[in-house]
Structure 1
């Protein structure tokens, strides 16, 4: 008897109702059925209680543990906490199946996965590519050992190796497909070098969205479209900056005033949020909705802004720090509107040996924004400049 059958069926039905099962990759759904999440979940998972992450142990809280392993399709299962913050998870099922669809894996493909984590995604990849065709790199030695045990238990035939995902894995290159399970701001050029011409790379980018890149015939670039939403943990060692409360501090706001735009769109319009991410790569935007909408903006260092839009009153701005994030957001918003409000799916990315840029509309003639790790000022580059 499958003690998780009801929870698994609930998750399956919700994903079906949301249109989340990929039509173009019919193999994904039976693979998820054959390799359920709980086979790859550790006996301790974690949940946010409003002030901290608290554990749920399978041995003492079996019901709560199971609910956390089988949440809604858009919710992840936290499987590791480091220094009070999540450092590994079973990714939300909706994004996992969407990224597998974007990867376009075929039987016999040589696949490289960066970030083994619990091992579930690697098992799903192997179900499609075949035993012995998937190599997975994990920087955390304990996670690598645990995932290797789980993968061996289901007969996945995945080669789990320790190492830095940014370096890829040259031993089995070139690969037909490369996929990352953690977010990067800049796609490592080594990934492109280790992918065959015509091969495909799928990775979460930044804090919002995942992209699928196809390597050019000459191997000197990789380009492709944004595929959908994906909010993944960053690679280990990536500075996440200061949290909101530390950037905000206790000082009184330096300025306040009004905000002429509809703050509700910051809460509801993912295309707007993605466009702001492109134009203002270091600005983080968090929103809540209740009696109106409130948006918190900060740069992870010293500048912040709060946009409060009650249901029956005009939006109000409070901000502090050397930058005026409300005004920067307003200007970036205007650029998006001037461009015709392109959707998330109208954006793409190109990676060359020396640079990476986001483009809108057309990779050769559309507007481009250079994306350089550590840069706080986006640089617009002209069409045709692909150095």
Structure 2
């Protein structure tokens, strides 16, 4: 791929330096850069990118499984902050996988709990604002939906807990759950917390990266509520 890129750049008489290496390390010894743009998704923005970008410079990258963020490096170079720019789905960073699938987590054991789920599941299919908020509040939870005679949601944490939430045409929505966590319950609580906080939209969220941590916030980077970024889920990387 690098050789093909070099050939194509040379053919257009474009003077671009091509460096092959681990993208998480940026370009050691180079910079400072005005812009850093990534075309693969990271959970944690590598601190090397911030260090190699000049104060006032911009870092644009896909984040996680949904977001697309643009950060501006602070005047002292000790943090980078910016707003979400929309939705994006890109190949994840090497070493970051999805963990076990819903089917693997579910297994063939009978559900350990079941009960009514008091919400319409349709927003999980169509409302990007709801999906993004749940991604922020429950960063390790995966949600997949399908609509046939009613909406069904499959929820899991890539590890040991799962839930199936089924909405029937009769208007009843039932959650079946297994594992140490009650993910349908957590989903309902997170959904309620988002609503009571004013239901911020996708573009009301932002991110801050410091040497010690990374967190998401809504409405205001200094006074708004914050959610720490979960550690990346190690698994089989997509190449």
The structure carrying a bigger helix percent of its residues is: 1
The superposition leaves residues 206-229 of structure 1 with CA deviations (integer Å, 9 ceiling, x where unpaired) of 111111000011111110000000
1:219 to 77, 82, 85: 77
Look up the match of 2:111: 253
**CA separation of 1:316/1:167 partners in 2, compared to 1, >3 Å: closer, same or farther?**
same
**CA separation of 1:354/1:314 partners in 2, compared to 1, >3 Å: closer, same or farther?**
same
Secondary structure of 1:170's match?
coil
Q: CA deviation at 1:251?
A: 1.8
2:187 to 301, 304, 329: 329
Q: CA deviation at 1:310?
A: 2.6
Look up the match of 2:206: 348
CA RMSD for the aligned pairs?
Answer: 1.5
Secondary structure of 1:191's match?
helix
Tell whether 2:94 aligns with 1:243.
no
Q: CA deviation at 1:257?
A: 1.5
Q: Is there any run of 5+ residues in structure 2 with no aligned partner, and where?
A: 234-239
Q: CA deviation at 1:154?
A: 4.1
Look up the match of 2:28: 170
**How do 1:164-203 and structure 2 match up within 5 A?**
164-203=22-61
TM-score of the superposed pair, with normalisation by structure 2: 0.92
Secondary structure of 1:185's match?
coil
Aligned residues: 233
Secondary structure of 1:334's match?
helix
The superposition leaves residues 222-249 of structure 1 with CA deviations (integer Å, 9 ceiling, x where unpaired) of 1000000001121011232111211111
Q: Take 1:312 and 1:154, find their aligned partners in 2: how far apart are those partners?
A: 62
Q: CA deviation at 1:276?
A: 0.7
Quick check: 2:43–2:232 contact (8 Å CA) kept in 1?
no
Higher relative contact order, chain-length normalized (CA < 8 Å, sep 6+): 2
Q: Take 2:153 and 2:14, find their aligned partners in 1: how far apart are those partners?
A: 44
Look up the match of 2:158: 300
Q: Is there any run of 5+ residues in structure 1 with no aligned partner, and where?
A: 1-142, 376-387
The superposition leaves residues 313-368 of structure 1 with CA deviations (integer Å, 9 ceiling, x where unpaired) of 21111111111100011111111011011000000011111111111110111111
Q: Take 1:150 and 1:312, find their aligned partners in 2: how far apart are those partners?
A: 59
**CA separation of 1:158/1:249 partners in 2, compared to 1, >3 Å: closer, same or farther?**
farther
Look up the match of 2:236: none
Quick check: 1:355–1:372 contact (8 Å CA) kept in 2?
no
2:126 to 268, 287, 290: 268
Q: Take 2:114 and 2:2, find their aligned partners in 1: how far apart are those partners?
A: 50
Secondary structure of 2:88's match?
coil
1:358 to 212, 216, 219: 216
Look up the match of 1:207: 65
Tell whether 2:16 aligns with 1:158.
yes
Quick check: 1:264–1:309 contact (8 Å CA) kept in 2?
no
The superposition leaves residues 43-77 of structure 1 with CA deviations (integer Å, 9 ceiling, x where unpaired) of xxxxxxxxxxxxxxxxxxxxxxxxxxxxxxxxxxx
Q: CA deviation at 1:151?
A: 3.6
Secondary structure of 2:215's match?
strand
The superposition leaves residues 107-161 of structure 1 with CA deviations (integer Å, 9 ceiling, x where unpaired) of xxxxxxxxxxxxxxxxxxxxxxxxxxxxxxxxxxxx3233333443444443222
